[in-house]
Amino acid sequence: MGIFLGSVAGLAVLFLLWLAAMGTRRGERQMALLRQYRYAHRGLHNIERGVPENSILAFRYAITGGFGAELDVHLTKDKRLVVAHDSFLDRLCGVHVRIEEQTLEELRKLTLQGTKETIPLLEEVLPLFCGKTPLIIELKVENGNYKELCEQTCKLLGTYRGDFCIESFDPRVLRWLKKNEPFILRGQLAENYTKSGAAPGFPFLARLAMTMLLPNFLTRPDFIAFRYEDRNILPVRLCCGLLKGQEASWTIRHQSELEVAEQAGSLVIFEGFLPKKRAEQPAASEQSQQGAA
């Protein structure tokens, strides 16, 4: 009996330590503003209508519809911040080159997904949103460049007067922000890394730790941006349910998913459809509908 009780007590202590580790920062006033909006994933894009993802055109459509936007930032060879999702540009531009190995001048010669749109600079996108709708800025770390990527991004954002937050899959980004820019809202992107095919190349224990949200102990994010299909796993429900952490859901592709996520208090990052109007958000204009699926 004594051994059994000792084991139960030990498990209880481990569980409490896990809860303490996965906690998030709370009470940030900016989060209330971010919750008022829905976020178009890589802008309000629709390549069938000539609107590529992460393009100036897609971001204009998002703003016209009254949406915020989620976008992705890479650091070029000559230390410029460009907005694109993939590091290798095979899918986006039809060429096998890597953003981090190209200069801005070289990237400017490429076009997006067969259109006339080019890869924009972050400094070109920011003025579109200033004073209008918020941005979720995802930092894409490649080859361990998180420090330089964070420094360049925060230097640019230091003069920006719009509303934004920063998120990343890489906990080192959040750790850097916690230490150097603690007033910037930060979010930990994650999914169920224990599933087959998730985070290839990482050892199982590392994938398990990220799934269990253990890096939160070092980063204390303001929100957890979790893959929608994985949002009901225990770590997310404990962090965003029991501990009242803010949840963001990616990527929502149906109105029914959006409604479920919003009813749970989650920020929503959507793609491939135009959400139905809600009372506190303007209706999408006819122009913005052309950018949606």
Catalytic residue annotation: 41, 85
What pairing do the DSSP bridges indicate for beta strands 68-75 and 81-83? antiparallel
What tokens were used for 282?
A: 């303007």
The shares of helix, strand and coil residues in the chain, as percent rounded to the nearest 5, are: 40, 15, 45
C-alpha–C-alpha distance, residues 75 and 87, integer Å: 10
Half-sphere exposure for 199 (CA within 13 Å, toward CB):
19
State how far the alpha carbon of 197 is from the alpha carbons of 21, 69, 135, 179, 200, in Å.
26, 28, 29, 32, 6
> In terms of Cα–Cα distance, which of 123, 11, 2, 128 is closest to 58?
128
**Alpha carbon 23 to its chain's center:** 19
Q: Which residues have a Cβ under 8 Å from the Cβ of 228 and sit 6 or more positions away?
A: 249, 250, 251, 252, 257, 261
What tokens were used for 106?
A: 């070289």
The DSSP element (H or E) to which 261 belongs, if any, is: helix 255-263
- Are the beta carbons of 75 and 143 closer than 8 angstroms? no
**Alpha carbon 124 to its chain's center:** 19
